[in-house]
Amino acid sequence: MTVTRTAARSGALIAASSGLLATALAPSAHAVTGDGSHRLAGVDKATLTQQQAREVATAPAVQVASDATLEIETDVVKVTPAPEPEPEPEPVVEATAPAQAEAVVQPAEQVTPDYASDGSIGARAVAIAMQYIGIAYTYGGESPATGFDCSGLVKYVYAQLGVDLPHSSASMVSAGYQVSSPIPGDIVWTQGHVSLYAGDGMVVEAANYGTPVRHTAQWQDYAVYIRPY
């Protein structure tokens, strides 16, 4: 590979077989013998000024070995990658109240029987009898410890109020006086069974074997109502 060096004010021009290359060669290159007619054959001399043409014609030629290499030292450029972006925090979703609040289930209102606010002896008798709902039926029983039969329950309740009654349904029909319209505490009497009227068509009674003391609708037909006080 043959390179021609042309000295110029701004640097040097080198003509090579592949075209025109601008570079800066060392000034100690060796001149090539000959008439230099092959110098810069690829340069259009018609475009050069007279001064440039003279300089090209008189420029010394240098010969570069075919295996010559051009070493260019450059600083190693270290590229530091940009830091990875920090993940954005997840948005905080505030709990919102539902459009309609769930309905609050209120306990069923308990209907208070008439006897609770009466204050009479009969009303107090019913209130006492209601405490023994669930006590087992026992024939001849007249206390919570032993159980109750029908007349035993009525006798026990009124005994707490100072009213003495016989332990016999047949005898209770004459233990007080009869009334046409019952109020809480009156004895509901039919042949062979008694109960306490609790108001609103309900009674408290010890009915029979297998049925504990209960608060239930009056079921006795053609009953006689006895007020024992």
Domain boundary among 19, 44, 63: 63
Let me know whether 58 and 151 are in one domain. Answer: no
Q: For residue 74, is it within any domain?
A: no
* CATH number for position 128: 3.90.1720.10
Let me know whether 46 and 121 are in one domain. Answer: no
The contacts of residue 23 (CB under 8 Å, 6+ apart) are 11, 12, 14
159: containing domain:
115-227
Residue 113 to residues 124, 152, 218, Cα–Cα distance (Å)? 12, 23, 14
Let me know whether 35 and 134 are in one domain. Answer: no
- Cα–Cα distance between 36 and 57 in angstroms, integer? 8
Q: Report the domain count for the chain.
A: 2
Token pair of 37, please? 């007619």
pLDDT at site 205 = 98
Let me know whether 145 and 218 are in one domain. Answer: yes
pLDDT at site 201 = 96
pLDDT at site 90 = 67
Q: For residue 88, is it within any domain?
A: no
Token pair of 156, please? 């026990």
- Cα–Cα distance between 61 and 56 in angstroms, integer? 10
Q: For residue 100, is it within any domain?
A: no
Q: For residue 190, is it within any domain?
A: yes
Task: Give per-10-residue mean pLDDT for the chain (229 aa).
Answer: 40 39 40 50 66 71 66 64 67 53 42 51 96 97 96 98 96 94 96 96 96 96 95
